[in-house]
Amino acid sequence: MNINEAYEFVMSKLERLKNEGIEFSINESIKTPALVEKYDKPNKLPIDKWTNISFNLETDKDFQKIYDMENLCKMVGIYFDTRFGKTQRDWEIDWSLRTN
């Protein structure tokens, strides 16, 4: 799976989460000149696709759905940075998106 296929896979899983009632916002990722210079490479996700997905988790069931989707991505060899707190979880679909 190439990086663009991995991106499309993750986006399709976001659509599935949305259909299951999970609320999230899609925001532009941070694109500092240093990050762009370092990660604007052919084997990396194109800069115009860098995205931050911010989930607002209202229940443990919501958290479990996000966690399960992250595990599904890992099972097919897709990895990306995440951040989390008590009621929020973020996916960084940016330069950190990679495949094995």
Going residue by residue through the chain (100 aa), what tens digit of pLDDT does each one get?
A: 999 999 999 999 999 999 999 999 999 999 999 999 999 999 899 999 999 999 988 888 999 999 999 999 999 999 999 998 777 899 999 999 999 8
**pLDDT of 2:** 95
Residues in the chain: 100
**pLDDT of 28:** 92
Whole-angstrom Cα Rg for the chain: 13
Q: What is the distance between the alpha carbons of residues 35 and 47, in angstroms, rounded to a whole number?
A: 10
**pLDDT of 77:** 97
82 SS3 class: strand
Tokens representing residue 41 in the block? 């490479």
**pLDDT of 3:** 96
Amino acid at 53: I
